[in-house]
């Protein structure tokens, strides 16, 4: 009988892959410690409030006002899709990432005990991959960008800056590794784009074929 070649063991990563993953983890940790270590009482206060969910309620009200001003009754479709988007991204971050990968937050990682600067001793849940703040904010920023791009360009470009600032604050506070935030942002950008495409299809099926991004108030 001809000799059969032994099958490769796929249960264990190749040494090169192990080395790459170790390097990325070390880089992730080094960046985290550099950002988290660059702290001061003033920056602590700013980053704490950037990360707070309720402080942004005035911004959300401004966004709703601008949507109604430029899109009228179509705003209800946009808002429904935005709520569905945040619900989706929240579930994705928890069910498909945190509950599967079980990557500890830096502030819960025993290997980093004593190295993480905590603000007001707040850390969050056990797992941090991926960042829910990052996926939620970047999804909303991308979803709304196209609607505001021509009507309210300042708001259109402010939203990605807002998402980036909140995401950075999560690293500064020791709640996430940079990799948690980057993957979360990438997923948010993708899902925000998909949901915006679906919203446009829904709006066009209502009978209005006009370009929603160029509609001017009062026309």
What pLDDT does 217 receive? 45
- Choose between 21 and 78: higher pLDDT: 78
pLDDT, tens digit, for every residue of 48-59?
Answer: 999 998 999 999
Q: Which residues share a beta bridge with 127?
A: 104
Spatial contact of 167 and 138, defined as CB atoms under 8 Å apart: yes
* % of the chain beyond a pLDDT of 70: 88
CA distance 154 to 167: 20
Q: What is the structure's pLDDT at 218?
A: 43
Q: Long-range contact list for 107-110, CB < 8 A, 24+ apart?
A: 107/174, 107/175
- Domain limits, the chain: 41-214
Regarding predicted confidence, which is higher, 149 or 15? Answer: 149
Asked whether 91 and 132 are in contact (CB, 8 A), the reply is no
Q: Distances in Å between the alpha carbon of 109 and those of 37, 119, 192?
A: 16, 16, 31
Q: Which pLDDT does position 126 carry in this prediction?
A: 92
Q: What pLDDT digit, counting tens, does each position of 106-145 carry?
A: 999 999 988 999 998 888 889 999 999 999 999 999 999 9
Token pair of 41 as six digits: 């009482």
Does position 47 have pLDDT exceeding 60, yes or no? yes
Distance between CA 19 and CA 16 in Å, rounded? Answer: 5
- DSSP 8-state symbol, 38: S
3-state helix, strand, coil in the chain (%, to 5): 70, 0, 30
**What's the mean pLDDT when you consider all of the chain?**
88
Take residue 14 and report the two structure tokens written for it.
């190749």
Mean pLDDT for the stretch of residues 71-88: 94
For 155-210, the pLDDT digits (tens) are 999 999 999 999 999 999 999 999 999 999 999 999 999 999 999 998 888 755 44
């Amino acid at each position: 009988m001809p000799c059969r070649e032994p099958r490769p063991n796929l249960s264990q990563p190749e040494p090169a892959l192990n080395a790459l993953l170790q390097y990325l983890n070390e880089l992730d940790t080094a960046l985290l410690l550099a950002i988290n270590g660059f702290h001061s009482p003033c920056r602590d206060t700013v980053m704490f409030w950037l990360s707070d969910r309720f402080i942004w309620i005035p911004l959300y009200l401004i966004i709703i006002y601008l949507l109604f001003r430029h899109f009228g009754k179509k705003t209800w479709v946009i808002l429904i899709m935005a709520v569905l988007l945040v619900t989706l991204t929240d579930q994705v971050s928890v069910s498909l990432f945190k509950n599967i990968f079980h990557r500890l937050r830096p502030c819960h990682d025993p290997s980093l005990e004593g190295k993480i600067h905590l603000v007001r001793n707040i850390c969050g849940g056990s797992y941090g991959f991926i960042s829910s703040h990052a996926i939620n904010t970047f999804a909303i920023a991308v979803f709304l960008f196209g609607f505001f791009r021509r009507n309210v360009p300042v708001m259109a470009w402010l939203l990605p800056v807002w998402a980036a600032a909140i995401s950075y604050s999560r690293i500064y506070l020791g709640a996430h590794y940079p990799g948690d935030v980057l993957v979360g942002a990438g997923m948010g950008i993708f899902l925000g784009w998909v949901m915006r495409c679906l919203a446009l299809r829904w709006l066009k099926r209502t009978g209005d074929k006009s370009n929603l991004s160029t509609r001017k108030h009062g026309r």
